[in-house]
Amino acid sequence: AQKVTQAQTEISVVEKEDVTLDCVYETRDTTYYLFWYKQPPSGELVFLIRRNSFDEQNEISGRYSWNFQKSTSSFNFTITASQVVDSAVYFCALSEITEGGIKGGSEKLVFGKGTKLTVNP
Amino acid sequence: DSGVTQTPKHLITATGQRVTLRCSPRSGDLSVYWYQQSLDQGLQFLIQYYNGEERAKGNILERFSAQQFPDLHSELNLSSLELGDSALYFCASSPGLAITSDTQYFGPGTRLTVL
């Protein structure tokens, strides 16, 4: 079965520091998708990025960047020049094909346990 | 704001009771997913509906059931509640069937406390 491991339970940094959140996954699928979601203190899950298994190009969006390495089954997330508003729990997730269903399989997200990031002023 | 709405925001009830959580997907989305977030189990997929039909089941207890109505809103019914059912329940929606082609957008969640 699919598995996502976020080894860092909690990280604390000072504002303006760079921080990298690690994500390691296990899957037998040849085609799969990886995701990052942010859960701020308000509780809502905010979508950050989706990356398919065929695209290993790194992606940058403002202060956020993602490094996908198939060889090490990792999809790490870096925040550059962190800010207090970045404080949240960050979840890495992996798509998993579910078997069965009424008209065949479907897909679901398998989440890691999350990394709680605290950015101190 | 993801466009997915969930009601109520908070729910406090007693063991043995039954509750209904409601979700309205984003406009145009046909798929609705339910997830449970608890301290010990983390975020777990419960069930998916697509255009009114059950599509996939995850770790959903037999005491739990869901449905999606013709207007595409969905309800998650939890019965014979136990202390361990206390959790944050999320609904997510996506336009189509497969998350590999669509992104799931999550609602704000319903926090259920069973006393």
Q: Which residues of chain A have pLDDT under 50?
A: 101-103
Distance from CA of B81 to the nearest CA of A (A): 23
State the alpha helices, DSSP H only, in B17-58.
none
Q: Which of A95, A98, A103 sits opposite B100 (nearest CB)?
A: A95
The single-letter DSSP state of residue A102 is B
Distance from CA of B50 to the nearest CA of A (A): 10
- The contacts of residue A42 (CB under 8 Å, 6+ apart) are B108
**What's the pLDDT at B63?**
96
Q: Which residue of A has its CA nearest to B105?
A: A47
Chain A contact residues (CB < 8 Å to B): 31-33, 35, 37, 42-47, 50, 52, 91, 93, 95, 98, 100-103, 105-114
pLDDT score for B76: 98
What's the pLDDT score for residue A29? 83
Q: Do A47 and B104 touch (CB under 8 A)?
A: yes
Per residue in A68-88, pLDDT tens? 999 999 999 999 999 999 999
How high is the pLDDT of residue A104? Answer: 52
Beta strands in chain A (DSSP E): 3-5, 10-14, 19-21, 24-26, 33-39, 46-52, 59-61, 64-69, 74-79, 88-98, 106-111, 115-120
CA B66/CA A89 separation, integer angstroms: 28
Contact B2 A44 (CB under 8 A): yes
Tell me which chain A residues have a C-beta less than 8 angstroms from the C-beta of B58: 98, 108
Write down the pLDDT at residue B2: 83
Q: Over its length of 115 residues, how does chain B's per-residue pLDDT go in tens digits?
A: 889 999 999 999 999 999 999 999 999 999 999 999 998 889 999 999 999 999 888 889 999 999 999 999 999 999 999 999 999 999 999 988 766 667 889 999 999 999 9
Quick check: bond before B95 cis, omega within 30? no
**Which of A38, A51, A109 is the mutation pick for testing B, counting most B CBs within 10 A?**
A109
Contacts of A113 in chain B (CB under 8 A): 42
Residue of B nearest to A40 (CA): B108
Tally of CA atoms within 13 A in the half-sphere of B17 that contains its CB: 14
Chain B residues inside the 8 Å CB shell of A93: 43
Nearest CA in chain A to B35: A109
